[in-house]
Amino acid sequence: MVGGPCEGCEALLEYGDRHLNAVDTLPKFKETEPKLRLTGTVFQADGKTPAEGVILYFYQTNREGIYETRGDETGWARHHGFIRGWVRTGPDGKYTIYTFRPGAYPSRSEPEHIHLTVKEPNTIPYYLDSYHFQDDPLLTGTHRKAMDNRGGSGIVAPRPEDGMLTAYRDLFLGLHIPGY
């Protein structure tokens, strides 16, 4: 089993009949600050070849640290909330998500993060390390050491660019993925 156990990875397939592009905008982007663009390239296991046709699924909390629901969610959206989205890489392997910086859980037990699941053509979905923010005071040394760097480091350093924060992260398929 590629990637080991993955609770909720089935949510990656809940995009329905939508046509997926390399760019998506998550709900609440327009009205929520600080705005955030996550972007990068997905590479094949060789670390050099761009990966085409890879689906990425993102979900996150609102600014209050809650997986917000509207009340009519079905499937995994009942757990992940409605602030979620999907992209499919093109021939250049690139992806971009427009969202906002999430809040830490109300308990402050976890740093701010955005979950990420990947599905390559002809494989089952598996999770990669969540996006974490270099400047988050809750991202302690203990949290950093606990990361497996699945798909590469999930720690990003957002910087102001084009009127919003931009964070770059390249993803490497199979890197540190059990059973790959």
Q: With respect to residue 164, please indicate whether it lies within any of the assigned structural domains.
A: yes
Does some domain include residue 16? no
Range of the domain at 167: 29-172
How does residue 1 score in pLDDT terms, banded at 50, 70 and 90? confident
Total number of domains constituting the chain: 1
What CATH number has the domain bearing residue 55? Answer: 2.60.130.10
From residue 2, alpha-carbon distances to 10, 57, 82 in Å are 14, 17, 27
DSSP 58: E
Q: What is the pLDDT of residues 74-127, one digit of tens each?
A: 999 999 999 999 999 999 999 999 999 999 999 999 999 999 999 999 899 999
pTM given for the model: 0.96
DSSP notation for 112-180: -EEEEEEE-TTS--EEEEEEEETT-TT--HHHHHH---TTS--EE--EEETTEEEEE--EETTTT-TT-
DSSP state of 77: H
Contact 16, 53 (CB under 8 A): no
Q: Is residue 14 part of a domain?
A: no
* Mean pLDDT score, 67-79: 97
SS3 81: coil
- pLDDT tens readout for residues 7-24: 999 999 999 999 999 999
d(CA 39, CA 168): 5
Q: Within a domain: residue 120?
A: yes
The residue among 55, 41, 49 whose CA lies nearest residue 121 is: 55
Query: Tokens for 119?
Result: 């599905």
d(C-alpha 88, C-alpha 21), whole Å:
5
Q: Let me know if residue 9 belongs to a domain.
A: no
Q: How long a stretch of residues is the chain?
A: 180
Q: Report if residue 15 sits inside a domain.
A: no
Does residue 177 fall inside a structural domain? no
The fraction of the chain above a pLDDT of 70, given in percent, is: 100
Q: What is the DSSP string of 12-50?
A: GGTTTTPPP-SEEE-TTTTT-SSEEEEEEEEE-TTSSSB
Please give the average per-residue pLDDT across 24-51, as a whole number: 98
Mean pLDDT of the region 137-149: 96
Which pLDDT value is given to residue 135?
97
Is residue 69 included in any domain, yes or no? Answer: yes
- Cα–Cα distance for residue pair 16/80, rounded to 1 Å: 16
